[in-house]
A and B are shown apart, each in its own frame.
Chain A
């Protein structure tokens, strides 16, 4: 199961030299995040940007992580990659990647893992590249670092990979500096860099938000093609529900630092259960669907400092009022599986309450 024969990316090998688990049926999910809390200790108080996130990413799966700004979707995966800077800190939880807790790794081990087994692409591809080096060199470096290739061999592989991610005239583009690339080309270079380490997991944070819609379509097709050919697991972080519906197998919706709903893509769109998910889907105009008015979620995202232990969406939730629920403002609903694979954090669907652990913030591990 290593992809098409024409694929320039050979089967993955783990940093330790042992064969990487490329069998998708291997036991357990590739990534298993449990009880993650990442807080920012600011002068204005403790901002609980990620506050109790449980999430898995299966082998070969494309997971969409959806939310608005400030929902914690990016911070969740910055935490997974251990890229959260002060004043932010992971204060609680486990991040099991292929069975190993990433929080116990040394900085050097983590750096190695990021370049190889976990690849990343970001919203601003041009500013994510080093402006002083040619695009091909930056990809060749990955081959040099992880496979010990010589400069010339690395450069040749970089050109192959650029052609693979759909860059026309790869020979010439490999010699280009980042500022000479368009946004779409730069994102292709970023994808090539991420794939050079043949990762098991590709984290794409708003990869097409800065791109025009026709270019966005090209990049999404590319990610979907590569995912299918290489069997890489992909986490797509986005605010765009359309993108999620097109390429994700499963979706998790975040609101104010917590996951409020999680389901395979089809049920999530056809039968959204959480009032926030319903509001989000109803508020977006959809091409070809005329509606007199768009749904409106009243109010705004809460301040993440000093939140009461309660449903975080309660102050904006009209369903709560309609159904006369009172526990929403008194306790935090737990994320409960109400149908196979469909989880929701809402008292309309389950009475289960989540116990919030005391987090010893001063003693927390890194």
Chain B
């Protein structure tokens, strides 16, 4: 039951409609390192490999959640997928076009099809430009004539639940939730096929978050763009996404459908992450997988499996020495990087659900 022979990573063999599809975005061997400066003269003392060998396929019309804790590389991966950051190694193909090598017209065409919504709606809009100008900027860059631009701006504003005459206002005249609506309008005005939303609701208040989440979901269903949703909040990801990739220290450690990852997680890190979330239900029994320690510095990632220093089931002599690969479990399309769950050492797994019931 493994995905042998299929070149795509963790891909569902068929989609809901039973049709095989080629990925819209396909990443292979992505690596991105950032120099770390230190010492008295600010010299480069090392490199943080923020993304360290990621393969990922994203299929047309799907919503893929990219989750993990701070420093796991999820935002960097989102930017690499868009070509907003050049990769040090590896390739990203968008509809077959190599994003890293596109130049001139080809690049301009790519840019229009790939858009981003940022976390902070306060700082991602030019305070001196009207909302209308901010939204029209992308259209202008792509050579849409003026008359058509104005119409497009109006349409985009109405799409996100704002009014057409808001176009003449400035960012400071809007609340945080409204500004995030503007951010979404700006991204969608050029009718992209691929959208990366990087923590789009984490700066917003709880009651405003749900407005934006409902909006993103409605728009995705209505316009059928492909969405990568980068977030640290797993409940939000479960609510919104079809598939989920869990990242730890620059690697995708688990990938599967929402039901697979949330219902039957393979990787011990995913289990710990899920069990750590406080649930607003006083009657829900808590079964917490306690992780000792903190995330190691990405400057010096642990040997072998990067999670072994905090893993409740790590086996000495295996997990601290051998590097695991992203391999399929029993369920098609569900992959994880764990010697004991999907790798060659399944016999060493002390049994699923290793958590002791917690008081």
Q: A residues bordering B, Cβ < 8 Å?
A: 68-69, 168, 182, 184-185, 212-218, 220-221, 239-246, 265-266, 269-270, 279-281, 283-288, 290-291, 293-297, 300-301
Assembled-state Cα–Cα distance A182/B297 (Å): 10
A269 touches B238 (CB 8 A): no
29 A-B pairs with CB atoms under 8 Å apart are A182-B294, A212-B69, A212-B295, A213-B276, A213-B277, A214-B69, A214-B272, A216-B276, A217-B290, A221-B288, A221-B290, A239-B205, A240-B278, A241-B280, A245-B281, A269-B282, A270-B283, A283-B206, A285-B238, A285-B239, A286-B235, A287-B235, A287-B262, A290-B238, A291-B239, A293-B217, A294-B213, A294-B239, A295-B210
Any A CB within 8 A of the CB of B324: no
Q: B278 near A246 (CB under 8 angstroms)?
A: yes
Of A168, A214, A279, which contacts B273 at CB under 8 A?
Answer: A214
Alpha-carbon distance A246/B287, docked complex (angstroms): 12
Q: Complex Cα distance A300/B212, Å?
A: 13
Known: A68-B207, A220-B278. 19 other contacts (CB 8 A): A212-B69, A214-B272, A217-B291, A221-B290, A239-B205, A242-B280, A245-B278, A246-B278, A265-B282, A270-B283, A283-B206, A285-B210, A285-B239, A286-B235, A287-B277, A288-B262, A295-B210, A297-B210, A300-B175
> Which chain B residues numbered 217 to 247 have a C-beta less than 8 Å away from chain A?
217, 232-236, 238-240
B276 touches A283 (CB 8 A): no
- B3: shortest Cβ distance to chain A, in Å? 26
Query: Which of B175, B275, B281 has a CB less than 8 Å from the CB of A269?
Result: B281
Residue of A nearest to B213 (CB): A294
Contacts of B283 in A (CB 8 A): 266, 270
With contacts A215-B294, A245-B281, A293-B214 taken as known, whether A287 is within 8 angstroms of B207 at the C-beta atoms is: no
B290-301 contact mask (Cβ, 8 Å, vs A): 1 or 0 = 110111000000
A182 to B69, CA, bound (A): 14
Instruction: Please give me the residue from chain B that is nearest to A213 by CB atom.
Output: B276
Kindly list chain B residues whose C-beta atoms are within 8 Å of the C-beta of A213: 69, 232, 234, 273, 276-277
Q: Is B286's CB within 8 Å of the partner chain A?
A: yes
Q: Is A280 in contact with B206, judged by CB distance below 8 angstroms?
A: yes
B275 CB contacts on chain A under 8 angstroms = 217
B10 at interface, CB cutoff 8 A? no
Between B236, B273, B281, B284, the greatest number of chain A beta carbons within 10 A of the residue's beta carbon is seen for B281
B274: A residues at CB distance < 8 A? 287
List the 10 closest A-B pairs by CB distance, nearest first.
A242-B278, A283-B210, A294-B210, A285-B239, A212-B69, A241-B280, A217-B276, A297-B207, A68-B205, A285-B235
A285-B238, A287-B238, A287-B277 are known contacts. Are A217 and B294 too (CB-CB below 8 A)? no
Bound-state CA distance A294–B205 (Å) is 14
The residue among B234, B235, B240 with the most chain A CB atoms within 10 A of its own CB is B235
On whether the beta carbons of A245 and B239 are closer than 8 Å, the reply is: no
Shortest Cβ distance from residue A70 to the other chain B in the assembled complex, whole angstroms = 8
Q: What chain A residues lie within 8 Å of B177 (beta carbons)?
A: 300
A220 to B286, CA, bound (A): 13
A213 to B272, CA, bound (A): 10
User: A284–B177 Cα gap in the complex (Å)?
Assistant: 16
**A285-B241 Cα distance, complex, nearest whole Å:** 12
A216 to B209, CA, bound (A): 21
Contacts of B206 in A (CB 8 A): 68, 239, 241, 280, 283-284
Beta-carbon contact of B236 and A244 below 8 Å: no
Known: A68-B205, A68-B207, A212-B70. A286 touches B214 (CB 8 A): no
Q: Note all chain A residues with C-beta closer than 8 A to B290.
A: 217-218, 221
Q: Does B129 belong to the interface (CB within 8 Å)?
A: no
Closest residue of B by beta carbon distance from A251 = B282
CB proximity of B22 to chain A, nearest CB, Å: 29
Q: Tally A-B pairs: CB < 8 A.
A: 121
Residues of B within 8 A of A (CB): 69-70, 175, 177, 205-211, 213-214, 217, 232-236, 238-240, 262, 272-284, 286, 288, 290-291, 293-295
CB neighbours of A68 from chain B (8 A)? 205-207
Say how far A159's CB is from chain B's closest CB, in angstroms. 20
Q: In the complex, what residues of A have CB within 8 A of residue B272's CB?
A: 214
* Most chain A CB atoms below 10 A, which of B209, B274, B278, B282: B278
The CA of A291 and the CA of B239, in the complex, are separated in Å by 7
Specify which of B209, B240, B276 lies most central, judged by the most chain A CB atoms within 10 Å of its CB: B276
Distance from B232 Cβ to chain A, minimum over Cβ atoms (Å): 7
Q: How many Å from the CB of B119 to the closest CB on chain A?
A: 15
- In Å, the complex CA distance between A123 and B297 comes to 22
Residues of A within 8 A of B273 (CB): 213-214
Name A283's contact: one of B209, B233, B288, B294 (CB within 8 Å). Answer: B209
Q: How far is the CA of A279 from the CA of B214 in the complex (A)?
A: 14
Chain A positions within 8 Å of B295 at CB level = 212, 214
Tell me which residues across on chain B come within 8 A of A245, comparing CB atoms. 278-282, 284
CB distance from B40 to the nearest CB of A (A): 16
Q: What distance in Å separates the Cβ of B175 from its nearest Cβ neighbour in chain A?
A: 5
Shortest Cβ distance from B118 into chain A, in angstroms?
19
**Within the assembled complex, what's the spacing in Å between the Cα atoms of A331 and B173?**
30
Complex: A245 Cα to B284 Cα, angstroms: 9
Residues of chain A lying within 8 A (CB to CB) of residue B69: 212-214
Residue of B nearest to A215 (CB): B294
| Contact call A283/B281, Cβ cutoff below 8 A | no
Query: From residue A93, how far is it (CB to closest CB) to chain B in Å?
Result: 26
Q: Name which of B238, B272, B277, B283 has the most chain A CB atoms within 10 A of its CB.
A: B277
A214: chain B residues at CB < 8 Å are 69, 272-273, 276, 291, 295
Whether A242 and B205, one on each chain, are in contact in the complex, defined by CB atoms closer than 8 angstroms, is: no
CB of A217 within 8 A of CB of B205, answer: no
The residue among A185, A270, A283 with the most chain B CB atoms within 10 A of its own CB is A283
CA A280 – CA B278 in complex, angstroms?
Answer: 16
Give the distance in Å from the alpha carbon of A286 to the alpha carbon of B234 in the complex.
9
Least CB distance, A263 to chain B, in whole angstroms = 11
Residues of A with C-beta under 8 A to B217: 293
Minimum CB–CB distance for B339 against chain A, Å: 21
Contact status B294-A280, CB under 8 Å: no
B239: chain A residues at CB < 8 Å are 285, 290-291, 294
Closest CB-CB distance, A227 to chain B, in whole Å? 14
Q: Is A280 within 8 A of B276, CB to CB?
A: no
Give the chain B neighbours of A294 by CB distance below 8 A. Answer: 210, 213-214, 239
